[in-house]
Structure 1
């Protein structure tokens, strides 16, 4: 089903649990945990594949889908119950491998790229060293899962550059396909009736 909506809806928190925009922690991310005045508990560690960390006295704490401050409060609560009086904990994300976007198709360097706080479609394509020589600028598809539904948006990069509509935000877990693809063919009949697309086309895949 193709809708004339102006933008893909932003994924909610549940959509982003496995890999989120910078605020959330995901599996295999590296974090720094500091416990004020208890240096023996302060350390750099990697979140395990199930999204948990293990600390002396605190035990196992679920980090997946939490912000750094939320995880700090969870560690404080765990330490408070394990003989640490008034613990003060700070958590910082050192590096993230869980927050990535896939860029495929007619770009110079397809692959997985980290998602930054201000990433947009044009910036994502630039991260992949731009479009290849024969890429079709009006055939760029963003695939996204929102509340369990797979959705796709068709964008015209040249129209975005001209200011015809806003450069859409990119989120972790998005898949960007530049050029012809099975996802692009979803829009073929609709575009043939209206060759000048004044706004993104959004489709619900399931």
Structure 2
């Protein structure tokens, strides 16, 4: 049942991401190292070529040699090359067309508990939900919180995003835009443990605001010898020491708690 619920949440996430992608403003692709560009000039087939942008941001163009296009949009690069052709006296009116055939520089890494981890190219305005959808959505073992690591002008920042809450509330404006070089990481869902007189002792996925009673249910319920009296939780405190707590069924479970269900003597 929990797998089905999580699958439903992943499906909602992908649908929301698709909606976000459809309504996003079309942004300009910025050229960068590794991008492969096919160039042509109207009326001058001898100037056509396919070339790769170098690590320094330059591309080799007939008659002009190395032209710096790194950090320029496709439209800006077309205008720059056309202007250089006209300024050099090669053409009176240069109509340059650039087509990016491989977008290597503008890629985002999607890692962790997703169905298809990897690097994904971005073309235009894209957000975290869009990239999670491209990666097949959050896997069954994935948590609700997603970490976004961004590098802007040498400054690295880290954002924690509650993607499930965004989808549930339909607040897509809380999503974050991504750019080439960003990293999206989906951590494993938090776990807790139950032992003793339950039918399926062991680790279980910790849901939001989960109570001890719900944890017992996640463990398959009580065995015929089990009792809800005398429940105990072993929990690591803020100082790192282990604490043993007498628990009630409506107490909230925390990450890495170990719940012990005792045997009934009556």
Q: Partner residue of 1:9?
A: none
- Tell me the TM-score normalised to structure 2 length: 0.55
| 1:83–1:164 Cα change, 3 Å | closer
2-structure distance, mates of 1:118, 1:131: 21
2:106 paired with 1:106 = no
Matched with 1:41 is 47
Contact 2:37–2:50, Cα closer than 8 Å, also in 1: yes
Q: How does 1:53-202 map to 2 (within 5 A)?
A: 53-86=59-92, 87-137=94-144, 139-163=145-169, 165-166=171-172, 167-179=175-187
1:96, 1:156 → 2: CA distance? 29
Rg larger in 1 or in 2? 2
With over 3 angstroms needed to count, the CA separation of the structure-2 counterparts of 1:144 and 1:99, relative to structure 1, is: same
TM superposition shift of 1:118: 4.2
The Cα shift of 1:164 comes to 6.0
Pairing partner for 2:34 from 28, 31, 48: 28
More strand by share: 2
Say whether the 8 Å CA contact 1:22–1:115 is kept in structure 2.
no
Counterpart of 2:178 in 1: which secondary structure? coil
CA contact (8 A) 2:28 2:74 kept: no
RMSD in angstroms over aligned alpha carbons? 2.3
Unaligned runs of 5+ in 2: 1-26, 190-237, 239-266
User: Which ranges in structure 1 are unaligned for 5 or more consecutive residues?
Assistant: 1-20, 182-188, 190-206
Q: 1:45 to 1:101 in 2, by over 3 A?
A: same
Deviations 1:173-196 (A, max 9, x none): 211111159xxxxxxx9xxxxxxx
Aligned residues: 161
Query: Hey, which bits of structure 1, 4+ residues long, moved more than 4 A?
Result: none
